[in-house]
Chain A
């Protein structure tokens, strides 16, 4: 940059591109999360012989909730006000950092596995605190259950991704995706198969799908997530719902890109980004369809057997890491 141009172009074009990519990713996760939920609902309904709500129902619900009056239970503190914001904020930051559309989001060097997993964990904690804040029995019960499950599923998520990190010799998420793009032979390696099994279990648990939690009922014996948000209404509920949908979209997109990195943009340029968006949509929809299929074909597990399911996922992840460490 020289002379007069420097005044106009104070922003480095490469940085601007990265920021643009990140903004696109956050937007996609924000819109795509509810759409994926809608898709899963639609597939389930069709498999059960119902017509089902349109795929865009989630977005319509969000719009409706946002126009409602903001109302909170009387004894709630600032935690209730902050919880939905922290949930959405942490999901948005994680979405901006992870390689969803392109391997070059903003601050790609800092997009570490641990950072992204702990950003997601921050959202879960905020949600659990929000559930406790109103002081009702259901909120506390839901939070306690969510934390019990989270305590087993978060390590499995971390260790599962670590298996890929060992193979790629970097814990940087864009680095892992880039390395997998460069070595197509890795996609079939034993540790990846085991890690994929582990992460599918984790995604089901983290997003509260059927063998772990049933998102469509309010049955006090079994509900986990719905119990935490019982006291929320209006814009708060809209934010929480959006945050949960974003986490679902983010996790599905992350798992899809880590294991099947085809189509992720590795260079700048509008065309590569467009291909990346299209590929992400296809892959995330395919994974969502797989999870919907699991939901239709299994019954909800008894709460006390959920740790068994998650322990299975965790052990698969551990074995994957072991194979990766020993056989490299």
Chain B
């Protein structure tokens, strides 16, 4: 890819994806988490669109559209509905406190740079140089999955992991094939819908959506 405005946009979008992942560890407000996810989705879609224009790749353009609609608009919208329907739990309840999680995030970013360094040196290129951003997003997403116990924050972690994988895929291989991306997006959408149904049912049965409380079997 030639240096220039397109590369700038790709770098900017990659940086925004990682920054949004770190900010997702930082903010406790669930609504803020959801707008960060939406921002991440838009950044990913922009990145895919720029790559599509640069490579004259129509199917990648379609993927960019799918990513924008699914990850930028529909999934955050659904999650926002889940949060709105439960005014009692507007904040995450992390198992690890915020400063410690942030330090962990910094370590994860360093690790991802160390690990991916050899990968990017196989094919040194302006795009592969950015691949650690995607891996770092995946790792931060796993960290959110492990340490945040609310059902909504769990799904946020899962989506962070997925966005990270998508970022690595766009940067290293110019994206998944159209069919795979469509399938993955539909899967995610399904997961979010199931979560919405599940949290509603959980709240109706138990009055809360804290996964740590679900230890005993009920009739």
Known contacts being A185-B7, A188-B9, A326-B113, is A315 close to B102, with CB within 8 Å? Answer: yes
Q: Is B88 an interface residue (CB 8 A)?
A: no
A188 and B12 in contact (CB under 8 A), knowing A318-B106, A322-B106? yes
Give the contact stretch, choosing among B70-78, B127-135, B195-203: B127-135
Q: Is B65 among interface residues, defined by CB-CB distance under 8 A?
A: no
A-contacting 9-mer, from B14-22, B155-163, B180-188, B209-217: B14-22
Query: B residues within 8 A CB of A187?
Result: 8
If A190-B130, A327-B129 touch, whether A312 touches B15 (CB-CB below 8 Å) is no
Count chain A residues whose beta carbon lies closer than 8 angstroms to a beta carbon of B: 23
Q: A323-B109, A326-B132 are in contact. Are A188 and B8 (CB under 8 A)?
A: yes
A-B pair count, CB < 8 Å, reads 76
| CB of B87 closer than 8 Å to a CB of A | no
Mask of A177-193 contacts with B, CB within 8 angstroms, 1/0:
00000000101111111
Does A150 touch B at the CB level, under 8 Å?
Answer: no
Query: Which of A307, A308, A314, A326 has the most B CB atoms < 10 Å from its CB?
Result: A326
- Asked whether A311 is an interface residue with its Cβ less than 8 Å from the other chain, the reply is yes
Contact B99 A307 (CB under 8 A): yes
Interface string of A292-328 (1 = CB under 8 A from B): 0000000000000001100110111011001100110
Interface membership of B110, Cβ < 8 A = yes
A197 within 8 A of B: yes
Return the CB mask of B103-142 against A: 1 if under 8 Å, else 0: 1011001100110010000000000011011000000000
Contact digits for A253-274, partner B, Cβ 8 Å, 1 yes 0 no: 0000000000000000000000
Question: Is A316 within 8 A of B22, CB to CB?
Answer: yes
Size of B's binding interface in residues, CB under 8 A:
30
**A190-B133, A307-B99, A326-B117 as given contacts; A319 in contact with B22, CB under 8 Å:** yes
**B26 interfacial contact with A, CB 8 Å:** yes
B20-58 interface (Cβ within 8 A of A): 22-23, 26
- Chain B residue numbers with a CB within 8 Å of A194 are 15, 18-19, 22
B23 contacts across to A, CB distance below 8 A: 197, 312
Give Cα distance in the complex from A187 to B7, angstroms.
12
B residues in contact with A307, CB < 8 Å = 99
Contact partner of A311 (CB less than 8 A), chosen from B3, B19, B98, B114, is: B98
Give B172 Cβ to nearest chain A Cβ, in Å.
15
Chain A residues near B98 (CB, 8 Å)? Answer: 308, 311-312
Bound complex: CA A314 to CA B8 (Å) = 25
Which B residue's beta carbon lies closest to that of A319? B109
Interface of A is mostly: helix
Measured between beta carbons, the chain A residues less than 8 angstroms from B18 are 190, 194, 319
Residues of A within 8 A of B117 (CB): 326
| A185 and B1 alpha carbons, distance in the complex (Å) | 14
Kindly state the separation between the CA atoms of A315 and B133 in the bound complex, as whole angstroms: 15
Contacts of A318 in B (CB 8 A): 106
Q: Which residue of B lies closest to A184 (CB)?
A: B8
Complex: A79 Cα to B142 Cα, angstroms: 53
Q: Would you call A188 and B11 a contact (CB within 8 A)?
A: yes
A322 to chain B, nearest CB (A): 5
Interchain nearest-CB distance for B185 vs A (Å): 25
Q: In the bound complex, do residue A322 and residue B11 qualify as a contact, i.e. CB atoms below 8 Å apart?
A: no
Q: Residues of A contacting B103 with CB < 8 Å?
A: 311, 315
Q: Are A193 and B129 in contact, with the CB atoms below 8 A?
A: no
Pairwise interchain contact A312-B26, C-beta atoms closer than 8 A: yes
List which A86-115 residues lie within 8 A (CB) of chain B.
Answer: none
**Chain A residues within an 8 Å CB radius of B3:** 185
**A197–B39 alpha-carbon span in the complex (Å):** 15
In angstroms, Cα B3 to Cα A152, docked, is: 38
Question: Which residues of A lie under 8 Å from residue B16 when comparing CB positions?
Answer: 193
B26 lies within 8 A of A193 (CB): no
Q: Which residues of A contact B133 (CB under 8 A)?
A: 190, 323
The residue that A312 contacts in the complex, of B14, B102, B114, with Cβ under 8 A, is B102
Chain A residues in the interface with B (C-beta under 8 A): 185, 187-194, 197, 307-308, 311-312, 314-316, 318-319, 322-323, 326-327
Give me 10 other A-B pairs in contact (C-beta within 8 A), A189-B11, A319-B106 excluded. A189-B12, A190-B18, A192-B15, A194-B15, A308-B98, A311-B103, A312-B102, A322-B109, A322-B113, A326-B117
A to B CB contacts below 8 Å, 25 in the list = A185-B8, A189-B11, A189-B12, A189-B15, A190-B14, A190-B18, A190-B133, A191-B15, A193-B12, A193-B16, A193-B19, A194-B18, A311-B99, A312-B102, A315-B103, A316-B22, A318-B106, A319-B109, A322-B110, A322-B113, A323-B132, A323-B133, A326-B110, A326-B132, A327-B132
Interface residues of B (CB under 8 A from A): 3-4, 7-9, 11-12, 14-16, 18-19, 22-23, 26, 98-99, 102-103, 105-106, 109-110, 113-114, 117, 129-130, 132-133
Q: Which 4 A-B pairs have the closest CB atoms?
A: A190-B15, A188-B8, A311-B99, A315-B102
